[in-house]
Structure 1
């Protein structure tokens, strides 16, 4: 594979303020997983700009190392992130890998046993169909039910993320100015999130999406290893500039989505069927 690289300059606008970025990407065709470090860096830059906005208004982010309250939530990730997470686990020392794999397996088995995924999918289908039976309160109840089961993220160690540099985009976006302890039982009336004006996590959901997850709105993190084990990597090979352009186009569209849909987490393109191992 060629080791040639190309550098370009980009400008993003967050809350009207420009973010200048210089990116260096491979000229060769690569899997999107190889581009994730760059996209994660972009995600962090977007989030930092959003934090600067709230701090300029006199508020302060209350998240801190060792808290870990949000790490008991269901974490929606993209297909690309799922395959990278599997790579991260495969790269771990054997003893550490066994511990993490056991956590993934136990968590997934538990939530399948209590039919939590079925409940979540049912609500998302209601939202997609515009059913009057759907409500934000019901969705919040399902999210809270996940947290109350007592299963932390498989990567959580002593209240901190053990893959912090490669944590999913949605984890980077979840910051609050309300008391950190409130995140143990997140409710609209007790949680004040930092508004993220562009959503890298939403952009990644579209990036390189294949038939493996075509009927999925997202992958829940604890499903990642199972998904990868059961499905070959169908993600395309594209040049660095092609992946970068695709990501930027998807990122720009998240601004429109946020304006049109104040609760984009409800959105589903198609029902998620059991043929995917669910």
Structure 2
């Protein structure tokens, strides 16, 4: 347990350092986005290492392209992550694709906008970025998506098909979720110290504008 806490502190400090570097450089768009990319690269590296370790121990991480069950639930992210995501979409997609993403986001927002608490958390509606079983903006997906790793496809399917079963939840790996969240918390804390107060939104809320 102490080792996990030490990891959490280290990832928080790394996130804080990245945030402060961006702040000290002026906290403009380019600096923030560069820091966010560096944060994501660190988490992706952690996930790659965990995948190798899992295979060595005869275990598996069952997340892969074409497995989209987690892409139908609400995904929350901080506004700087969603600005980064939206910038990626603006720069890499043509007008037709951007219009399609916006329309999908509006449909999901209309479906989920009035829901709260368990009704919202258990709602199932495809992510606006989902196309043929894959995320079209995978490289820019927010932290919540990156740290959502399951060791059992059956548990994901059950949660998708029976979301109201309070005894069921996807068999998610705890370590990447904890470390990714702590890194993002460190990054957020650095921004707050400079007067930037990040807010949380669902993905579709930012993709409708």
> TM-score normalized by structure 2?
0.70
1:219 aligns with one of 201, 205, 209: 201
What does residue 37 of structure 1 align with? Answer: 37
Per the alignment, in what secondary structure is the counterpart of residue 196 of structure 1?
helix
**Alignment gaps of 5+ in structure 2:** 1-5, 9-13
Cα distance in 2, alignment partners of residues 14 and 204 from structure 1: 14
2:184 aligns with one of 201, 204, 223: 204
What does residue 184 of structure 1 align with? Answer: 160
Cα distance in 2, alignment partners of residues 106 and 63 from structure 1: 26
Cα distance in 2, alignment partners of residues 74 and 177 from structure 1: 20
Q: Is the contact made by 1:175 and 1:194 (CA closer than 8 Å) also made in structure 2?
A: yes
**Alignment gaps of 5+ in structure 1:** 1-12, 16-20, 121-138, 230-278
Higher strand share: 1
Is the aligned partner of 1:48 residue 2:48?
A: yes
- Greater Cα radius of gyration, structure 1 or 2: 1
After superposition, the Cα gap between the structure-2 partners of 1:212 and 1:64, relative to the gap in structure 1 and judged at 3 Å, is closer
Structure 1 residue 103: deviation in Å?
1.0
Q: How does 1:88-103 map to 2 (within 5 A)?
A: 88-91=88-91, 92-103=93-104
What does residue 249 of structure 1 align with? Answer: none
Q: More displaced, 85-94 or 27-36?
A: 27-36
Q: Is the contact made by 1:14 and 1:49 (CA closer than 8 Å) also made in structure 2?
A: no
Is the aligned partner of 1:173 residue 2:174?
A: no
Structure 1 residue 177: deviation in Å?
1.1
Q: Is the contact made by 2:74 and 2:202 (CA closer than 8 Å) also made in structure 1?
A: yes
Per the alignment, in what secondary structure is the counterpart of residue 199 of structure 1?
helix
Q: More displaced, 78-87 or 48-57?
A: 48-57
Cα distance in 1, alignment partners of residues 35 and 71 from structure 2: 25
Q: Is the contact made by 2:108 and 2:204 (CA closer than 8 Å) also made in structure 1?
A: yes
Q: How does 1:144-155 map to 2 (within 5 A)?
A: 144=122, 146-147=123-124, 151-155=125-129
What does residue 267 of structure 1 align with? Answer: none
Report 1 or 2 for greater relative contact order, CA contacts < 8 Å, sequence distance ≥ 6.
2
Deviations 1:219-245 (A, max 9, x none): 11111235xx5xxxxxxxxxxxxxxxx
What does residue 11 of structure 2 align with? Answer: none
Cα distance in 2, alignment partners of residues 189 and 212 from structure 1: 32
2:132 aligns with one of 158, 182, 185: 158
Q: How does 1:63-82 map to 2 (within 5 A)?
A: 63-82=63-82
Cα distance in 1, alignment partners of residues 7 and 182 from structure 2: 16
CA root-mean-square deviation: 3.1
